[in-house]
Structure 1
Amino acid sequence: MKSIYHLILVFLLSASSFGSQADLINLDLTIKERFLTPEGFTRISSQKGSFAEYLQNYKVHPSGYPVHLFDGSVKQNEVWAAVLDFPILKKDLIQCADAIIKLRAEYLYEKGECDKIIFTLTNGMAVPYRKFAEGFRIKVNGNKTEWIKTDNKGDNRKIFDEYLEFLYTYCSTPSLLKDTVEARINEIEIGDIFLQAGNPGHAVLVVDLAQNSKGEKIMLLAQSYMPSQEMHILKSFDSISPWYKVEDKELKTPEWTFPKGSLRRWK
């Protein structure tokens, strides 16, 4: 989402537009501890070591901490219920799709599953982290890309960060579409993505789920936006905010409305 389109829209929303249930929010510092479930709902447990568990236990900043943009300024549209402890660059690079890619890549890197760190560029080229670690880099000429060999190799944080910054530059919502498959809304999982590819396009990440005795589900959503900004948990328009009802219809979030059928899952 590398366009300035839609920025003017976000300032039209006011805080009074959002639902509010303050007793669902406390002062703890992980997603699953910060946000309690509404009455009648039970949080869905995740498998130990899974991406879902990683997201549910992701750290958030203390209550009252605002979303910061890449230049250090504070986001004006207060659409967040909490801010993830999610360092960003002092460059306008980590926007919606980039932030989701970063979370997925960081999870795999922490687990030592580096062979699974492969993302697709907008032009369709698959870029494995292992190639960067082996010293290969990508030469870009317009929409054409090719691997070239360099002496800059190593499996370390510096190389990994270089790899991520390259992805932020050449990945987008259309490329994220290539790395995911369509998912059924009634089979939604933590780690799934609501995605509308385009220019502009947008993507939000499902970071938590809960369910009641009727099988009805609710979810927490996280996003970055443009310009580049810290990832945050979105408020919702429902009385159970920041939780969203999982429904087979369009999804309305504070800064984007996703059409029905937008749910995607990592390949």
Structure 2
Amino acid sequence: MKKQEGKSKDSKIYFIIKLLAITVHFPSLFLQSLYAESIQDRFPPPNGFKRVDYQNNSFATYLQNFPLKPKGSSVSLYNGKLKTNQVHVAVLDFPLLKDDLIQCADAIIKLRAEYLYSQKKYEQIHFKISNGMNVEFSRFIKGERVQVNGNKTHWKKGKFKQGTGRDVFEEYLRFIYIYAGTISLKSELKKKTIGDLKPGNIWIEAGSPGHAVLVVDKLTGKDGQTLFLLAQSYMPSQEMHILKSQSIDSPWFKIPQSDFFQTPEWEFPTKEIYEFTD
């Protein structure tokens, strides 16, 4: 009995240490990690494949460890209704606004911003809006805001809330959601080669409408094969979700071999894959 109790105690200590490690790297995931499976927990590699590991503080690892809603969850729209076309196998656990604002590009922006915010890399949180203006969170922190007049924008000082608190951060993100989209997001991304694919890469077709999907996990096989998971939001604003694939290893996707890459709700030119620049 004493040995069993010792093992139980050791297991609890190990769990606490692991949880604290996750919290240090990803504090925004602390509460969810107590209850939710992560992407890599939910989707183990098929036989013959292994997960690619990345640095603990990387965007790739942040995505691999992002918490999911319980198995069987449906994708909900911003207004509480269910998405008509349920093309997913899992739903990411982050909240929507009660407005039709967080669509495909916005959801990717949110994940990128949340990652940088969790790392306190406030200076790296910046996104372009539709007129090409680069909007830095660091200026919101200092109490500045963007004044919009038609297609013209400029920074304005006033008695605005300052600091790095969630209220200022959420105000900043809401502004970005309103004025950014696939066109502005693509303009600030760097082109990738598909052979160097990793979590955090984005297939994006800019337009009105356009669409974007995000690579959130990657596996490699012993013969050099690559499998990956894709997540998307869509129109109207809806919870971000892991997509099904047509592969026998679904939801894992294979590297596309043709000029076009078919996902459940959009066909992308295979070469249109990008990544954030910093």
Regions of 4+ moved over 6 Å: none
Structure 1 pair 28–240 and aligned structure 2 pair: CA distance change class (3 A): farther
Q: Work out which of the residue numbers 94, 106, 117 in structure 2 matches 1:86.
A: 94
The match for 1:222 is 231
The match for 2:261 is 251
The match for 1:266 is 276
- Shifted more, 223-232 versus 242-251: the winner is 242-251
Q: Work out which of the residue numbers 186, 193, 196 in structure 1 matches 2:205.
A: 196
Cα distance between partner residues in 1 of 2:58 and 2:270: 27
Following superposition, the deviation at residue 260 of structure 1 comes to: 2.1
Give 3-state SS (helix, strand or coil) of 2:195's partner: helix
- CA deviations on 1:182-202 (whole Å, 9 max, x unpaired) are 100001111000010011100
Give 3-state SS (helix, strand or coil) of 1:55's partner: helix
Following superposition, the deviation at residue 248 of structure 1 comes to: 4.4
In the alignment, is the contact (CA less than 8 A) between 2:96 and 2:102 conserved in 1? yes
Give 3-state SS (helix, strand or coil) of 1:45's partner: coil
In the alignment, is the contact (CA less than 8 A) between 2:226 and 2:254 conserved in 1? yes
Give 3-state SS (helix, strand or coil) of 1:146's partner: strand
| Percent identical residues | 50
Cα distance between partner residues in 1 of 2:165 and 2:233: 26
- Residue type at the aligned position of 2:54: S
Cα distance between partner residues in 1 of 2:59 and 2:147: 32
Between structure 1 and structure 2, the one with the greater Rg is: 2
Following superposition, the deviation at residue 154 of structure 1 comes to: 2.1
Cα distance between partner residues in 1 of 2:239 and 2:36: 19
Following superposition, the deviation at residue 203 of structure 1 comes to: 0.3
Structure 1 pair 28–43 and aligned structure 2 pair: CA distance change class (3 A): farther
Q: Work out which of the residue numbers 133, 137, 155 in structure 2 matches 1:125.
A: 133
Output aligned runs, 1:90-101, within 5 Å: 90-101=98-109
Output aligned runs, 1:138-217, within 5 Å: 138-152=146-160, 153-217=162-226
- Residue type at the aligned position of 2:171: E
Give 3-state SS (helix, strand or coil) of 2:61's partner: helix
Q: Which has the higher contact order (CA 8 A, sep 6+)?
A: 1
Following superposition, the deviation at residue 32 of structure 1 comes to: 0.3
Give 3-state SS (helix, strand or coil) of 2:100's partner: coil
Structure 1 pair 248–115 and aligned structure 2 pair: CA distance change class (3 A): farther
Following superposition, the deviation at residue 243 of structure 1 comes to: 0.4
Output aligned runs, 1:22-61, within 5 Å: 29-61=37-69
The match for 2:250 is 241
Cα distance between partner residues in 2 of 1:92 and 1:142: 21
In the alignment, is the contact (CA less than 8 A) between 1:180 and 1:266 conserved in 2? yes
The match for 2:123 is 115
Cα distance between partner residues in 1 of 2:261 and 2:94: 25
- Residue type at the aligned position of 1:229: Q
- Residue type at the aligned position of 2:194: I
In the alignment, is the contact (CA less than 8 A) between 1:60 and 1:82 conserved in 2? yes
Cα distance between partner residues in 1 of 2:276 and 2:152: 25
Unaligned runs of 5+ in 2: 1-34
| Superposed CA RMSD | 1.2
Q: Work out which of the residue numbers 113, 125, 128 in structure 2 matches 1:105.
A: 113
The alignment's TM-score, normalised by the length of structure 2, stands at 0.85
Give 3-state SS (helix, strand or coil) of 2:46's partner: coil
